[in-house]
Amino acid sequence: MINATQIRKGMFIKIEGELFKVLETTHVTPGKGQALMQTKLRRLHDLSLHDYRFRSKERIEQVYLETVQMEYLYQEGEDYIFMNTENYEQIKLSAEILGTSINYLTPNIVFSIEIFEGQPMGVNPPMTIELLVEKTAPYLKGATQSASNKPATLETGITLNVPQFIKEGDIIRIDTREDKYLERVKG
């Protein structure tokens, strides 16, 4: 059991016998009264979204899931095929289970799959990943410092802001936790 103030994004918690994944948390301290933890949760058995408020002193049951390293192989229709790196067993995952990790699916990248009672519950990409820039605006000569970033579409379809010197065909390293550009990879 943990205090409600210890709830973090990505955790799994149990409320009234139901398993939830924490998608967002906000610590709210009103002018009067007790502090609250405002959370957005996904119920795992039907994938529905719920907003919950917990009083700061409330105790919550945290659930620990087994984490298995699996390599992404390919997409087959609506399913995504992953292979366990230890025993080579393959599983199919849906887009709902993948969530935002779908933005980082490139073959041969190893993801952490969270499993509860034999069922995949969540997918976490590596902290950093290298992706190819497929489309971006050309460098604007004389651009001011205030306009130092521009949007770029990467090979997986995700769009994020990159510095002006990045061009199509570059490979960049991004932080998957914040969808943020880190650096250009030297080729």
Domain boundaries, the chain: 2-63, 66-124, 128-184
CA dihedral sign, ordered 7, 8, 13, 19: positive
pLDDT of residue 45: 75
pLDDT of residue 10: 78
**Alpha carbon 71 to chain centroid, angstroms:** 16
pLDDT of residue 81: 93
pLDDT of residue 152: 92
pLDDT of residue 141: 65
Please give the CATH topology (third level) of the domain spanning 66-124.
OB fold (Dihydrolipoamide Acetyltransferase, E2P) (2.40.50)
Q: By the 8 A CB rule, do 20 and 14 touch?
A: yes
Q: State how far the Cα of 80 lies from the Cα of 11, in Å rounded to an integer.
A: 23
pLDDT of residue 145: 53
**Structure tokens belonging to residue 55:** 């009083």
Homologous superfamily of the 128-184 domain (CATH)? Nucleic acid-binding proteins (2.40.50.140)
Q: Do domains 66-124 and 128-184 have the same CATH topology?
A: yes
Torsion (CA) 61, 67, 72, 74 in degrees, nearest 10? -60
Closest of 26, 27, 25, 21 to residue 48, by C-alpha: 21
pLDDT of residue 154: 92
What's the N-to-C CA distance of the chain in angstroms?
48
The upper half-sphere exposure of residue 114, i.e. CA atoms within 13 Å in the direction of its Cβ, equals 18
Model pTM score = 0.69
pLDDT block averages, 10 residues each, the chain of length 187: 83 87 86 86 82 88 88 92 92 86 89 85 88 85 66 91 90 88 85
- The alpha carbons of the chain give a radius of gyration, in whole angstroms, of 20
Which residues lie closer than 8 Å to 99 by C-beta, 6 or more apart? Answer: 122, 123
Q: State how far the Cα of 171 lies from the Cα of 64, in Å rounded to an integer.
A: 36
Q: State how far the Cα of 77 lies from the Cα of 156, in Å rounded to an integer.
A: 16
**Structure tokens belonging to residue 136:** 């971006």
Q: State how far the Cα of 78 lies from the Cα of 46, in Å rounded to an integer.
A: 18
pLDDT of residue 131: 92
Please give the CATH topology (third level) of the domain spanning 2-63.
SH3 type barrels. (2.30.30)
